[in-house]
Structure 1
Protein backbone atom coordinates (compact mmCIF):
# COMPACT_ATOMS: atom_id res chain seq x y z
CA UNK A 1 0.00 0.00 0.00
CA UNK A 2 1.24 3.47 -0.86
CA UNK A 3 1.84 6.04 1.81
CA UNK A 4 -0.69 8.90 1.80
CA UNK A 5 0.43 11.99 -0.05
CA UNK A 6 0.32 15.12 2.04
CA UNK A 7 -0.83 17.93 -0.09
CA UNK A 8 0.55 21.24 0.94
CA UNK A 9 -1.53 24.33 0.37
CA UNK A 10 -0.49 26.36 -2.64
CA UNK A 11 1.41 29.48 -1.67
CA UNK A 12 -0.48 32.65 -2.45
CA UNK A 13 1.37 35.31 -4.31
CA UNK A 14 -0.90 37.90 -5.90
CA UNK A 15 1.82 39.42 -8.11
CA UNK A 16 2.96 36.03 -9.42
CA UNK A 17 -0.63 34.91 -10.05
CA UNK A 18 -1.43 38.13 -11.88
CA UNK A 19 1.70 37.77 -14.01
CA UNK A 20 0.86 34.14 -14.79
CA UNK A 21 -2.61 35.19 -15.93
CA UNK A 22 -1.12 37.89 -18.17
CA UNK A 23 1.30 35.38 -19.73
CA UNK A 24 -1.49 32.86 -20.25
CA UNK A 25 -3.65 35.53 -21.90
CA UNK A 26 -0.77 36.64 -24.12
CA UNK A 27 -0.25 33.06 -25.33
CA UNK A 28 -3.98 32.53 -25.89
CA UNK A 29 -4.44 35.82 -27.80
CA UNK A 30 -1.40 35.00 -29.98
CA UNK A 31 -2.90 31.59 -30.87
CA UNK A 32 -6.57 32.49 -31.34
CA UNK A 33 -8.73 35.43 -32.30
CA UNK A 34 -10.08 37.66 -29.56
CA UNK A 35 -13.55 36.09 -29.84
CA UNK A 36 -12.18 32.55 -29.54
CA UNK A 37 -10.27 33.22 -26.32
CA UNK A 38 -12.24 32.73 -23.13
CA UNK A 39 -11.46 33.61 -19.57
CA UNK A 40 -11.90 29.91 -18.69
CA UNK A 41 -8.97 28.93 -20.93
CA UNK A 42 -6.79 31.70 -19.57
CA UNK A 43 -7.63 30.77 -15.98
CA UNK A 44 -7.35 27.02 -16.64
CA UNK A 45 -3.80 27.34 -17.93
CA UNK A 46 -2.85 28.99 -14.65
CA UNK A 47 -4.93 26.72 -12.43
CA UNK A 48 -7.21 29.42 -11.06
CA UNK A 49 -10.92 30.12 -11.19
CA UNK A 50 -12.11 32.39 -14.06
CA UNK A 51 -13.66 34.68 -11.45
CA UNK A 52 -10.14 35.46 -10.23
CA UNK A 53 -9.19 36.70 -13.71
CA UNK A 54 -12.19 39.05 -13.58
CA UNK A 55 -11.23 40.13 -10.09
CA UNK A 56 -7.68 41.03 -11.19
CA UNK A 57 -8.49 42.59 -14.57
CA UNK A 58 -12.20 43.42 -14.57
CA UNK A 59 -13.04 42.01 -18.00
CA UNK A 60 -11.61 40.24 -21.03
CA UNK A 61 -11.39 43.61 -22.78
CA UNK A 62 -9.37 45.12 -19.93
CA UNK A 63 -7.12 42.06 -19.87
CA UNK A 64 -6.57 42.33 -23.64
CA UNK A 65 -5.74 46.02 -23.26
CA UNK A 66 -3.11 45.15 -20.67
CA UNK A 67 -1.65 42.30 -22.75
CA UNK A 68 -1.33 44.35 -25.92
CA UNK A 69 1.17 47.14 -25.25
CA UNK A 70 4.36 46.49 -27.17
CA UNK A 71 7.52 45.78 -25.16
CA UNK A 72 9.15 48.92 -26.63
CA UNK A 73 6.16 51.24 -26.16
CA UNK A 74 7.11 54.75 -25.23
CA UNK A 75 10.80 54.26 -25.83
CA UNK A 76 11.55 53.64 -29.46
CA UNK A 77 10.68 57.15 -30.71
CA UNK A 78 11.97 59.08 -27.73
CA UNK A 79 14.09 62.05 -28.81
CA UNK A 80 13.59 61.29 -32.52
CA UNK A 81 13.30 63.98 -35.19
CA UNK A 82 11.52 63.79 -38.55
CA UNK A 83 14.87 64.06 -40.36
CA UNK A 84 16.40 61.13 -38.49
CA UNK A 85 13.24 58.97 -38.48
CA UNK A 86 13.64 57.19 -41.86
CA UNK A 87 17.16 55.93 -41.17
CA UNK A 88 16.29 55.04 -37.58
CA UNK A 89 13.22 52.97 -38.50
CA UNK A 90 15.08 51.30 -41.38
CA UNK A 91 17.78 50.24 -38.94
CA UNK A 92 15.23 48.88 -36.47
CA UNK A 93 13.45 46.85 -39.12
CA UNK A 94 16.49 45.45 -40.92
CA UNK A 95 18.10 43.66 -38.00
CA UNK A 96 18.88 40.00 -38.63
CA UNK A 97 15.99 37.69 -37.72
CA UNK A 98 17.88 36.08 -34.87
CA UNK A 99 17.71 39.43 -33.09
CA UNK A 100 13.93 39.77 -33.46
CA UNK A 101 12.55 38.94 -30.06
CA UNK A 102 9.83 36.37 -29.49
CA UNK A 103 7.88 39.05 -27.63
CA UNK A 104 7.72 41.26 -30.71
CA UNK A 105 6.62 38.37 -32.92
CA UNK A 106 4.00 37.40 -30.36
CA UNK A 107 2.76 41.00 -30.18
CA UNK A 108 2.44 41.10 -33.95
CA UNK A 109 0.45 37.85 -33.95
CA UNK A 110 -1.92 39.28 -31.35
CA UNK A 111 -2.42 42.42 -33.45
CA UNK A 112 -3.04 40.39 -36.61
CA UNK A 113 -5.41 37.90 -34.97
CA UNK A 114 -7.44 40.73 -33.42
CA UNK A 115 -8.02 42.51 -36.75
CA UNK A 116 -11.35 40.76 -37.33
CA UNK A 117 -12.82 41.68 -33.97
CA UNK A 118 -14.55 45.07 -33.74
CA UNK A 119 -13.90 45.23 -30.00
CA UNK A 120 -10.24 44.11 -30.11
CA UNK A 121 -9.33 46.06 -33.25
CA UNK A 122 -10.61 49.24 -31.58
CA UNK A 123 -8.17 48.65 -28.72
CA UNK A 124 -5.36 47.91 -31.19
CA UNK A 125 -6.08 51.16 -33.05
CA UNK A 126 -6.01 53.14 -29.81
CA UNK A 127 -2.70 51.62 -28.74
CA UNK A 128 -1.12 52.08 -32.18
CA UNK A 129 -2.32 55.67 -32.22
CA UNK A 130 -0.82 56.35 -28.79
CA UNK A 131 2.44 54.48 -29.35
CA UNK A 132 3.23 55.25 -33.01
CA UNK A 133 0.83 57.48 -34.91
CA UNK A 134 0.57 60.38 -32.44
CA UNK A 135 4.35 60.58 -31.77
CA UNK A 136 5.14 60.49 -35.52
CA UNK A 137 2.43 63.09 -36.23
CA UNK A 138 4.01 65.38 -33.62
CA UNK A 139 7.37 65.13 -35.39
CA UNK A 140 5.95 66.15 -38.76
CA UNK A 141 4.69 69.53 -39.88
CA UNK A 142 0.91 69.86 -39.86
CA UNK A 143 0.22 69.29 -43.59
CA UNK A 144 -1.15 65.74 -43.95
CA UNK A 145 0.69 64.66 -40.77
CA UNK A 146 -1.96 62.06 -39.90
CA UNK A 147 -1.80 60.49 -43.38
CA UNK A 148 2.01 60.49 -43.42
CA UNK A 149 2.17 58.92 -39.96
CA UNK A 150 -0.26 56.20 -41.12
CA UNK A 151 1.99 55.49 -44.12
CA UNK A 152 4.98 55.15 -41.78
CA UNK A 153 2.98 52.67 -39.69
CA UNK A 154 1.96 50.74 -42.82
CA UNK A 155 5.60 50.31 -43.86
CA UNK A 156 6.55 49.32 -40.29
CA UNK A 157 3.85 46.69 -39.95
CA UNK A 158 4.38 45.34 -43.45
CA UNK A 159 8.11 44.97 -42.84
CA UNK A 160 7.53 43.41 -39.44
CA UNK A 161 5.07 40.89 -40.90
CA UNK A 162 7.56 39.87 -43.59
CA UNK A 163 10.36 39.62 -41.02
CA UNK A 164 8.16 37.47 -38.79
CA UNK A 165 7.38 35.23 -41.76
CA UNK A 166 11.11 34.79 -42.27
CA UNK A 167 11.48 36.66 -45.57
CA UNK A 168 15.27 36.71 -45.38
CA UNK A 169 15.73 39.44 -47.95
CA UNK A 170 14.39 41.98 -45.46
CA UNK A 171 15.93 40.53 -42.33
CA UNK A 172 19.52 39.94 -43.35
CA UNK A 173 20.70 43.28 -41.98
CA UNK A 174 22.56 44.40 -45.11
CA UNK A 175 23.00 48.07 -45.96
CA UNK A 176 20.97 47.81 -49.18
CA UNK A 177 17.88 46.72 -47.19
CA UNK A 178 18.37 49.60 -44.74
CA UNK A 179 18.83 52.04 -47.62
CA UNK A 180 15.63 50.94 -49.39
CA UNK A 181 13.59 50.94 -46.18
CA UNK A 182 14.90 54.44 -45.37
CA UNK A 183 13.78 55.57 -48.83
CA UNK A 184 10.28 54.14 -48.19
CA UNK A 185 10.06 55.92 -44.84
CA UNK A 186 11.38 59.18 -46.32
CA UNK A 187 8.74 58.99 -49.08
CA UNK A 188 6.03 58.26 -46.48
CA UNK A 189 6.83 61.34 -44.38
CA UNK A 190 7.21 63.78 -47.32
Structure 2
Protein backbone atom coordinates (compact mmCIF):
# COMPACT_ATOMS: atom_id res chain seq x y z
CA UNK A 1 0.00 0.00 0.00
CA UNK A 2 1.38 3.41 -1.00
CA UNK A 3 0.40 7.07 -0.19
CA UNK A 4 0.09 9.68 -2.98
CA UNK A 5 2.02 12.90 -2.89
CA UNK A 6 -0.68 14.70 -0.89
CA UNK A 7 -0.78 11.94 1.64
CA UNK A 8 -4.50 11.68 1.17
CA UNK A 9 -5.43 9.00 -1.30
CA UNK A 10 -4.53 5.39 -0.68
CA UNK A 11 -3.40 3.34 -3.65
CA UNK A 12 -3.27 -0.39 -3.16
CA UNK A 13 -0.68 -2.21 -5.26
CA UNK A 14 -0.51 -6.03 -5.30
CA UNK A 15 3.13 -7.00 -5.51
CA UNK A 16 2.88 -10.73 -4.70
CA UNK A 17 1.58 -13.54 -6.89
CA UNK A 18 -1.57 -14.55 -5.13
CA UNK A 19 -3.87 -17.44 -5.97
CA UNK A 20 -7.59 -17.25 -6.30
CA UNK A 21 -10.03 -19.72 -4.84
CA UNK A 22 -10.28 -21.25 -8.29
CA UNK A 23 -6.53 -21.81 -8.32
CA UNK A 24 -6.69 -23.77 -5.10
CA UNK A 25 -9.62 -25.81 -6.41
CA UNK A 26 -7.63 -26.59 -9.56
CA UNK A 27 -4.74 -27.83 -7.44
CA UNK A 28 -7.00 -30.08 -5.41
CA UNK A 29 -8.74 -31.46 -8.49
CA UNK A 30 -5.45 -32.11 -10.28
CA UNK A 31 -4.22 -34.32 -7.43
CA UNK A 32 -6.93 -36.94 -6.87
CA UNK A 33 -6.44 -39.07 -3.80
CA UNK A 34 -5.37 -42.55 -4.84
CA UNK A 35 -6.61 -45.56 -2.91
CA UNK A 36 -4.00 -47.38 -0.88
CA UNK A 37 -2.46 -50.17 -2.97
CA UNK A 38 -3.10 -53.63 -1.61
CA UNK A 39 0.26 -55.14 -0.71
CA UNK A 40 1.14 -58.28 -2.64
CA UNK A 41 1.99 -61.36 -0.63
CA UNK A 42 3.62 -63.94 -2.95
CA UNK A 43 3.70 -66.61 -0.26
CA UNK A 44 -0.02 -66.29 0.46
CA UNK A 45 -0.79 -66.29 -3.26
CA UNK A 46 1.19 -69.48 -3.78
CA UNK A 47 -0.58 -71.14 -0.86
CA UNK A 48 -3.98 -70.12 -2.23
CA UNK A 49 -3.11 -71.43 -5.70
CA UNK A 50 -1.84 -74.72 -4.32
CA UNK A 51 -4.98 -75.24 -2.24
CA UNK A 52 -7.25 -74.48 -5.19
CA UNK A 53 -5.16 -76.67 -7.52
CA UNK A 54 -5.31 -79.65 -5.16
CA UNK A 55 -9.11 -79.41 -5.04
CA UNK A 56 -9.49 -78.97 -8.81
CA UNK A 57 -7.05 -81.73 -9.81
CA UNK A 58 -8.61 -84.11 -7.31
CA UNK A 59 -12.09 -83.31 -8.58
CA UNK A 60 -11.42 -83.63 -12.32
CA UNK A 61 -7.93 -84.98 -12.93
CA UNK A 62 -5.25 -83.08 -14.87
CA UNK A 63 -6.78 -83.00 -18.35
CA UNK A 64 -10.14 -81.51 -17.40
CA UNK A 65 -8.80 -79.14 -14.74
CA UNK A 66 -9.30 -75.46 -15.51
CA UNK A 67 -6.57 -72.96 -14.62
CA UNK A 68 -9.18 -70.20 -14.69
CA UNK A 69 -11.23 -72.03 -12.06
CA UNK A 70 -8.10 -72.61 -10.00
CA UNK A 71 -7.16 -68.92 -10.14
CA UNK A 72 -10.73 -67.85 -9.39
CA UNK A 73 -10.92 -70.13 -6.36
CA UNK A 74 -7.57 -68.75 -5.20
CA UNK A 75 -8.84 -65.18 -5.67
CA UNK A 76 -6.11 -64.13 -8.08
CA UNK A 77 -5.37 -63.47 -11.74
CA UNK A 78 -4.74 -66.58 -13.93
CA UNK A 79 -1.50 -64.94 -15.08
CA UNK A 80 -0.04 -65.61 -11.63
CA UNK A 81 -0.07 -69.35 -12.37
CA UNK A 82 2.40 -68.68 -15.17
CA UNK A 83 4.41 -66.33 -12.97
CA UNK A 84 4.82 -68.77 -10.09
CA UNK A 85 4.63 -72.17 -11.81
CA UNK A 86 5.33 -71.54 -15.48
CA UNK A 87 2.28 -73.41 -16.78
CA UNK A 88 -0.55 -75.77 -15.88
CA UNK A 89 1.82 -78.75 -15.96
CA UNK A 90 4.22 -76.86 -13.68
CA UNK A 91 1.40 -76.36 -11.18
CA UNK A 92 0.47 -80.03 -11.47
CA UNK A 93 4.09 -80.99 -10.82
CA UNK A 94 4.12 -78.88 -7.66
CA UNK A 95 0.93 -80.55 -6.46
CA UNK A 96 2.29 -84.04 -7.13
CA UNK A 97 5.41 -83.33 -5.07
CA UNK A 98 3.29 -84.20 -2.05
CA UNK A 99 3.95 -87.93 -1.97
CA UNK A 100 1.82 -89.98 0.42
CA UNK A 101 3.68 -90.20 3.71
CA UNK A 102 4.18 -93.83 4.74
CA UNK A 103 6.42 -92.95 7.69
CA UNK A 104 3.73 -94.03 10.23
CA UNK A 105 4.27 -97.61 9.00
CA UNK A 106 7.94 -97.50 9.98
CA UNK A 107 8.88 -100.26 12.42
CA UNK A 108 5.52 -102.03 12.35
CA UNK A 109 5.56 -105.84 12.33
CA UNK A 110 4.37 -107.34 9.05
CA UNK A 111 0.79 -108.15 10.21
CA UNK A 112 0.23 -104.58 11.45
CA UNK A 113 1.80 -103.06 8.34
CA UNK A 114 -0.49 -105.14 6.14
CA UNK A 115 -3.53 -104.07 8.19
CA UNK A 116 -2.56 -100.43 7.73
CA UNK A 117 -2.00 -100.85 3.99
CA UNK A 118 -5.39 -102.54 3.64
CA UNK A 119 -7.02 -99.59 5.41
CA UNK A 120 -5.25 -97.21 3.02
CA UNK A 121 -6.61 -99.19 0.07
CA UNK A 122 -10.17 -99.15 1.43
CA UNK A 123 -9.87 -95.43 2.14
CA UNK A 124 -9.69 -94.71 -1.60
CA UNK A 125 -13.46 -95.07 -1.82
CA UNK A 126 -14.17 -91.42 -0.97
CA UNK A 127 -12.95 -89.05 -3.73
CA UNK A 128 -14.36 -86.05 -1.82
CA UNK A 129 -12.14 -86.61 1.21
CA UNK A 130 -8.90 -84.84 1.99
CA UNK A 131 -6.31 -84.26 -0.69
CA UNK A 132 -4.85 -87.53 -1.94
CA UNK A 133 -2.15 -87.40 -4.64
CA UNK A 134 -2.74 -91.06 -5.50
CA UNK A 135 -6.38 -90.30 -6.35
CA UNK A 136 -5.20 -87.34 -8.46
CA UNK A 137 -2.72 -89.63 -10.24
CA UNK A 138 -5.39 -92.21 -11.06
CA UNK A 139 -7.78 -89.57 -12.38
CA UNK A 140 -4.98 -87.99 -14.45
CA UNK A 141 -3.49 -91.20 -15.85
CA UNK A 142 -5.17 -90.72 -19.24
CA UNK A 143 -3.17 -87.58 -19.93
CA UNK A 144 0.11 -88.16 -21.77
CA UNK A 145 1.39 -84.82 -20.48
CA UNK A 146 0.69 -85.79 -16.86
CA UNK A 147 2.05 -89.34 -16.99
CA UNK A 148 5.72 -88.43 -16.70
CA UNK A 149 5.01 -86.16 -13.73
CA UNK A 150 2.99 -88.91 -12.04
CA UNK A 151 5.80 -91.42 -12.52
CA UNK A 152 8.66 -89.20 -11.38
CA UNK A 153 6.91 -87.23 -8.64
CA UNK A 154 4.63 -89.86 -7.15
CA UNK A 155 4.93 -93.41 -8.49
CA UNK A 156 8.68 -93.95 -8.19
CA UNK A 157 9.04 -92.08 -4.87
CA UNK A 158 6.15 -94.05 -3.35
CA UNK A 159 7.63 -97.36 -4.48
CA UNK A 160 11.01 -96.45 -3.00
CA UNK A 161 9.45 -95.29 0.26
CA UNK A 162 7.39 -98.47 0.60
CA UNK A 163 10.31 -100.69 -0.51
CA UNK A 164 12.46 -99.21 2.26
CA UNK A 165 9.78 -100.22 4.78
CA UNK A 166 9.44 -103.72 3.34
CA UNK A 167 13.12 -104.56 2.93
CA UNK A 168 14.42 -107.97 1.87
CA UNK A 169 14.41 -109.54 -1.56
CA UNK A 170 12.52 -107.94 -4.46
CA UNK A 171 11.38 -105.09 -2.23
CA UNK A 172 10.89 -102.69 -5.16
CA UNK A 173 8.72 -105.18 -7.03
CA UNK A 174 6.73 -106.04 -3.90
CA UNK A 175 6.16 -102.34 -3.26
CA UNK A 176 5.01 -101.88 -6.86
CA UNK A 177 2.47 -104.70 -6.53
CA UNK A 178 1.14 -103.31 -3.25
CA UNK A 179 0.79 -99.87 -4.85
CA UNK A 180 -1.11 -101.49 -7.74
CA UNK A 181 -3.49 -103.21 -5.32
CA UNK A 182 -4.16 -99.90 -3.53
CA UNK A 183 -4.72 -98.07 -6.83
CA UNK A 184 -6.89 -100.89 -8.13
CA UNK A 185 -9.24 -100.58 -5.17
CA UNK A 186 -9.91 -96.96 -6.09
CA UNK A 187 -10.51 -97.83 -9.74
CA UNK A 188 -12.87 -100.65 -8.81
CA UNK A 189 -14.79 -98.74 -6.17
CA UNK A 190 -15.02 -95.31 -7.75
CA UNK A 191 -14.20 -95.37 -11.45
CA UNK A 192 -15.85 -98.72 -12.24
CA UNK A 193 -18.29 -98.46 -9.30
CA UNK A 194 -18.44 -102.22 -8.87
CA UNK A 195 -21.08 -103.17 -6.32
CA UNK A 196 -18.98 -106.09 -5.09
CA UNK A 197 -16.28 -103.60 -4.04
CA UNK A 198 -18.58 -101.09 -2.33
CA UNK A 199 -18.07 -99.95 1.25
CA UNK A 200 -20.92 -102.26 2.30
CA UNK A 201 -18.44 -105.12 1.93
CA UNK A 202 -15.50 -103.56 3.76
CA UNK A 203 -15.16 -106.37 6.26
CA UNK A 204 -14.85 -109.09 3.61
CA UNK A 205 -12.71 -106.90 1.38
CA UNK A 206 -10.26 -106.11 4.15
CA UNK A 207 -9.83 -109.79 4.90
CA UNK A 208 -9.06 -110.49 1.24
CA UNK A 209 -6.70 -107.51 0.99
CA UNK A 210 -4.81 -108.62 4.08
CA UNK A 211 -4.48 -112.12 2.65
CA UNK A 212 -3.26 -110.84 -0.74
CA UNK A 213 -0.82 -108.31 0.68
CA UNK A 214 0.59 -110.80 3.19
CA UNK A 215 1.29 -113.17 0.32
CA UNK A 216 3.06 -110.44 -1.65
CA UNK A 217 5.16 -109.30 1.31
CA UNK A 218 6.14 -112.73 2.51
CA UNK A 219 9.87 -112.79 3.35
CA UNK A 220 10.15 -116.07 1.45
CA UNK A 221 9.32 -114.43 -1.85
Q: Same-fold call, TM > 0.5?
A: yes
Look up the match of 1:102: 129
- What is the TM-score when the length of structure 2 is the normalising length? 0.62
* Residues 105 and 116, structure 2, Cα contact 8 Å, conserved in 1: no
Report the alpha carbon displacement of residue 45 of structure 1 after superposing the two structures with TM: 3.7
Which position in structure 1 is the counterpart of 2:168?
Answer: 141
Q: Distance in 2 between matches of 1:101 and 1:78?
A: 28
Q: Is the 8 A contact 2:135 2:186 kept in 1?
A: no
Q: Does 1:150 align with 2:176?
A: yes
Q: How many residues align?
A: 181
Higher relative contact order (CA 8 A, sep 6+): 1
Mapped to 2, the partners of 1:160 and 1:113 lie a distance apart of 10
Q: Which residue of 1 aligns with 2:185?
A: 159
1:1-190 to 2 correspondence within 5 Å? 10=38, 12-37=40-65, 39-69=67-97, 72-82=100-110, 84-94=112-122, 102-104=129-131, 107-126=133-152, 127-131=154-158, 133-138=159-164, 139-142=166-169, 144-164=170-190, 171-172=199-200, 175-190=203-218
- Residues 21 and 37 (structure 1 numbering): CA distance in 2 closer, same or farther, change over 3 Å? same
The gaps in structure 1 that reach 5 residues or longer are 1-6
Q: Specify every segment of 5 or more residues in structure 2 that has no aligned partner in the other structure, as ranges.
A: 1-34
Aligned to 1:4: none
